[in-house]
Amino acid sequence: MGSGSWLLCLFIFGILVASCPSVGQCGSGITINVILLDDEDSPWSLQYVEGEILKAIEKDSAINAAQDPAVTFNLTANFSGFDTTLYWHRGCRSSSCEAVAELNNLTESGNLGCAVLGPTCTYATFPIVDKEAGMSLSRPILSAGSFGRSCDYTFNLQRLLPPARKIADFVNHFWEQNNELKPSWKAAYIYKTTNPTEECIWYVSAIEATVEPLALNISITPLRSPTELHSVLTLRNRTSNLFIMCGSPMDLVEIKNGSKAADSSDIAFILIDLYSDVYYTNTSSLPEMKNVLVLTMPNTRSYRINPDLKDNNTMNDYMAAYHDAVLFIGQVMRTISKQNQSQLHRAEYVNVNYFRNTKFTGIAGNYTLDEYGDRDVAFSIIYTTTDNKYDILFTFDTERNKTTVVEEAPKFIWGKRLPNNMPDSGPAIRNIIIIVLAVTVVVVATIAFIFYRQNRRDRLLRKRWSHVNSDLITLMENDDINVISLNIESKKKKKFKIRCALYDKKIVILKELKNSDGNFDKTQKRELNALLHIDYYNLTKFYGTVKLDHGVFGVFEYGERGSLRYVLNDKISYPEETFMDWEFKISVMYDIAKGMSYLHASDIQVHGRLKSTNCVVDNRMVVKITDFGCNAFLSPFQDLWTAPEHLRNEGTSQKGDVYSFAIIAQEIVLRKNTFYTESCSDRSEKLSRLKSSYFRPDLNFETASEKELEVYALIKSCWDEDPEKRPDFKKVEIYLGKIISKIHNQENESYLDNMIRRLQMYSRNLEYLVEERTALYKAERDRADNLNFMLLPGPVVKSLKETGAVEPELYDEVTIYFSDIVGFTTLCQYSTPMEVVDMLNDIYKGFDSIVDHHDVYKVETIGDAYMVASGLPKRNGNRHAVDICRMALDILAFMGTFQLRHLPGIPVWIRIGVHSGPCAAGVVGIKMPRYCLFGDTVNTASRMESTGHPLRIHVSQPTIDILERTNCKFEYEMRGETYLKGKGTETTYWLTGETGEDYDLPTPPTTENVQRLQQDLAHMTLTCLERRSRGSVRRKKLLPSQSKEDTSDQGSEVESESSLPEYLHLATVDNTLSTFL
């Protein structure tokens, strides 16, 4: 319906109003006329709004009753709906005359109240409020709509939702804004959707208006179809990077239609969607919204929008605005009533000025109406973060036309700042062509020059062979450490020396070649030339040969981590399931397959001796193959990696290399010995079975997981008995590459994530290794300390470790113990050296165990002499004599039960001497340092031992004096005056025990028997040896098979026992094995 229809409606209504005699008044019942479209499609339809208006009337009545009971007015509503279903175009476009007709009916019936709510449609409102051709209606009109510019600056219209002129002001001022997040913009494209809503029709019309003074200060280019939009998006010379549209996010998704250009970070969409709350209620945004700025109402609603008109709980901003309009009218009426209530009853309508330049609050938040009755708001400009969340970037206040930055560090698709107004202008077409041609010429010339140099170098290499200058090779300083024995030929056991050296600031390996003079034949030169041309990531680089004093060497790339065999064996540095997990094992196989695939495609064609010791690992854990292309220098190779056909008939082939790869793969998977099988462990037997029959290492298919079965199947196909059925390395490489890709896809892990995970695993493994090695170091240190403490006293060891020297020290009083074996020379005469060693070891181990239970220090043993001291290096008061005497009693008791293993039945007697006095102590010597004692006390103790009797403890007078100073009750008897060499005659004592203690000491021989001992010991030893040779002497530990023989010899043992000297009968029991003295 055009402007002609509006004029016709206005002419008819003007006549009717002129003929009307009177109008209603605002009495005690204040009537509000509600004139709205009544259909099922419009969100502001009377059937949806009516309930909210009635709720507002009830609230206003409650407010009146609560604030002032004297207030006598009440709000009432007169609802008038009009229907446009009879028109061709339904809805707002056919509402012009309908609203006029409704006002006519109200005027004729005298029911026109104090204020009018509605209409919402601009087409319906304009004929009523137009200054020149409209009605002369003085009553205030409150509309939730009437957005069009034609309804601006009217006499009596108040618009409770932002009109189109506020949107135009936003575009004008926001485009001019320039700050850290937004550049200044001068132009934009505007797209109108095919089925726009009522507000979008007028918002878009206001932005694209070209007639002054309604036109904006920026250049606006309209777009009418999605095809036109997409064509502009792909233009490099488009006039703007900004695209404005009004609608919902789904409208935007529809027009983008998955276009990559529409999702580019070089452009920005500005979506006008004022009457939706999804930007505040939804937890996540759509991916298509990442380059979109949304202009919407502030988050001040006290309700949730429900756009479903068929739902009984439907709610929208139009319904809320009309609800709040009723509260607004009630607020104005109360204001007038407070000023002059009589004026309220006489007034025909409410003065419109009460509704302008004012503020009020409703369920939609705070309302601010300007001087023309239009609503001002603080718009929210919302963006989508990089993690798909809505967030507020700016606010725009329409009252002051001011933009405020809310998020100073946004995380959006545009980086740090919104896109510029226009695409970055590139050079002109002519300049582009010139630059492209120039670059092309330079690239072609460079490539031609590189090829020329390469071909020239290749021709020179083919003509002659030259060595690397020996001045460029620097041998490592310690040749002994850096020489490694590499067993290249197992058959002839010939070893090639390998040395580490520096070449071109890199560590290299020097492998000695058999042509020591460097005069290579044609075949060898051809191989060396081919080696020199090999340059691949998974093959070791050959730098050339060098002639040194030691011979001629090949210069090869160095693998820092050693051979693959070494890495697989080192389960401490490379633990299973942490560092060397399944993916790592696959990558190791993949490295070998890539290297061999390249090698088979090169001039070398065959490796011939592929094995895990010929695969080295660099410091980046990349596996590289070495020892290829040396067939002219090395003899044929046969080992567990060699294919069966080449074990039977010497030779090499590519399929043989595939078999060798399968053996290496089994080593990698199981991390066990080469060609591991439980049925056979002998290398020669394995080789024999390989030559004679089908024999392969173990692969347990039954217990393998799904991922392992894939690799096991590959390994099985690679070691097939028929060489033709084995895959080539290109197929193996592709197969392993697919497995690696599958692992990454299943784990949903990028290569960067994989690298970070491996670094973390490597870091944890290093921590574990450091802890383990530290524990090993501490254990080794403790073992060394314990060994030192067994050789030297603790304080002495500490002093040696800290200062490297021990100061000698004088001790006022210590007690020294000496003992030796009686008849030791005779025993040695009838014993072998090893039997003497075993005898002393048995005796001294028993002594040492006794020493550990007393506060004493074992000084040394010399032959059969045993020396112990107490009171040094740690002083212990008078305890030194007590501890030595108790130790001597324990030792004597031990000797009473001791048996010689090689001479059972022969008594072993010892003499013990003890003396107390001062002495000096210190460490003597640098090599094998010993803690030695010096002084007369040592000599006297030795004399006490030598002048004593067997199985007796000979104690001096000073020791007895010290014992008497203690509370210990030792038992001793005076021996009498004893001559000590160098000392003269001294009173000495025999120590016989301690009161209250049962030491079970052996009975010592009498003085007369002692004199006969030396003469009879030899005879006893000979008799024992004779019995042993006849097998008649029973051992201490018997085998079960010997029990019968022992029984038969029992009589002979009794007979031999009776032939012992008389003095031995004092110390004899029934069993000869328990004889002691």
Asked if residue 1009 and residue 876 are part of one domain, the reply reads yes
CA 656 to chain CA mean position, Å: 41
Asked if residue 667 and residue 522 are part of one domain, the reply reads yes
Alpha carbons 231 and 246: distance in angstroms, whole number: 20
Asked if residue 186 and residue 324 are part of one domain, the reply reads no
Alpha carbons 142 and 101: distance in angstroms, whole number: 18
Q: Residue 428: inside a domain, yes or no? A: no
Q: Residue 82: inside a domain, yes or no? A: yes
The candidate with the shortest Cα–Cα distance to 60, out of 337, 352, 445, is: 337
Q: Which residues in the chain come in under a pLDDT of 50?
A: 1-8, 10-24, 460-461, 463-465, 479-496, 1032-1077
Asked if residue 337 and residue 256 are part of one domain, the reply reads no
- In this structure, what CATH number is given to the domain that contains residue 481? 1.10.510.10
Alpha carbons 43 and 49: distance in angstroms, whole number: 8
* Structure token digits, residue 95: 């509402």
* Structure token digits, residue 903: 């001479």
Asked if residue 31 and residue 120 are part of one domain, the reply reads yes
Asked if residue 679 and residue 572 are part of one domain, the reply reads yes
Asked if residue 618 and residue 593 are part of one domain, the reply reads yes
Asked if residue 386 and residue 267 are part of one domain, the reply reads yes
Asked if residue 99 and residue 168 are part of one domain, the reply reads no
Q: Residue 768: inside a domain, yes or no? A: no
Angle at 193 between CA 188 and CA 196, to 5 degrees: 120
| Angle at which helices 706-718 and 654-670 cross, to 10° | 150
- Cβ atoms of 162 and 146 within 8 Å: the answer is no
Q: Residue 240: inside a domain, yes or no? A: yes
Bridge-based pairing of strands 615-617 and 623-625 is: antiparallel
Q: Residue 313: inside a domain, yes or no? A: no
Peptide bond into 43 cis (omega under 30): no
pLDDT at 138: 81
From 722, 747, 772, give the residue that closes a domain.
747
Q: Residue 426: inside a domain, yes or no? A: no
- Which domain range does residue 126 map to? 3-139+319-363
- In this structure, what CATH number is given to the domain that contains residue 1003? 3.30.70.1230
Asked if residue 1041 and residue 942 are part of one domain, the reply reads yes
From 729, 747, 765, give the residue that closes a domain.
747
Q: Which residues have a Cβ under 8 Å from the Cβ of 887 and sit 6 or more positions away?
A: 817, 850, 851, 853, 854, 856, 868
User: How many domains does one find in the chain?
Assistant: 4
The candidate with the shortest Cα–Cα distance to 373, out of 161, 213, 116, is: 161
Q: Which residues have a Cβ under 8 Å from the Cβ of 302 and sit 6 or more positions away?
A: 363, 364, 365
726 residue type, one letter: R
Locus of tokens 């003499």: 911
Asked if residue 652 and residue 618 are part of one domain, the reply reads yes
Alpha carbons 199 and 92: distance in angstroms, whole number: 11
Q: Residue 681: inside a domain, yes or no? A: yes
DSSP letters of 62-100? Answer: HHHHHH-TT---EEEEEEEEE--TTSSS-GGGG-HHHHH
Burial class (CB in 10 A: 0-12, 13-18, 19+), 950: buried
Locus of tokens 């981590």: 561
- In this structure, what CATH number is given to the domain that contains residue 383? 3.40.50.2300
Asked if residue 337 and residue 484 are part of one domain, the reply reads no
Q: Residue 368: inside a domain, yes or no? A: no
- Secondary structure of 516-581 in the HEC alphabet? CCCCCCHHHHHHHHHHHHCCCCCECCEEEEEEECCEEEEEEECCCCCEHHHHHHCCCCCCECCCEC
Judged by DSSP in three states, 630 sits in: coil
